[in-house]
């Protein structure tokens, strides 16, 4: 019986480990994110900001807008 359990445990440890993927609308990245960082096909991970990226349809393009301006400080 012990041999059977040992063989079973060794066999299970040799199974291929798959990386989970995120589905449509799920988070796929961002600062501190510990979940899946890839999206299940056909979805792509689209960057929203440093804290959040999400699985969406379409091409992997940045969803951010950069604005330029002048910052004035008053002492």
> CA 47 from chain center: how many Å?
11
Count: domains in the chain: 1
The answer to whether position 47 is within a domain reads yes
From residue 75, how far is each of 1, 69, 70, 71, 72 by CA, in Å? 80, 20, 16, 13, 10
| CB atoms inside a 10 Å sphere around CB 48 | 16
53 within some domain: yes
Contact 54, 64 (CB under 8 A): no
Domain hosting 51: range is 26-57
Q: Is 45 inside any structural domain?
A: yes
- Whether 6 is in a domain gets the answer no
Full strand arrangement of the beta sheet holding 44-49: 27-29, 52-56, 44-49
Pick 37 or 70 by higher pLDDT: 37
pLDDT over 50 at 32, yes or no? yes
The predicted-structure confidence for 37-50, as pLDDT tens digits, reads as follows: 999 999 999 999 99
Q: Is residue 30 part of a domain?
A: yes
């Amino acid at each position: 019986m012990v041999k059977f359990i040992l063989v079973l445990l060794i066999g299970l440890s040799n199974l291929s480990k798959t990386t989970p993927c995120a589905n449509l609308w799920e988070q796929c990245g961002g600062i501190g994110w510990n979940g899946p960082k890839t999206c299940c096909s056909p979805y792509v991970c689209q960057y929203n900001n440093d804290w959040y990226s999400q699985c969406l349809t379409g091409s992997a393009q940045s969803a951010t807008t950069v604005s330029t301006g002048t910052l004035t400080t008053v002492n």
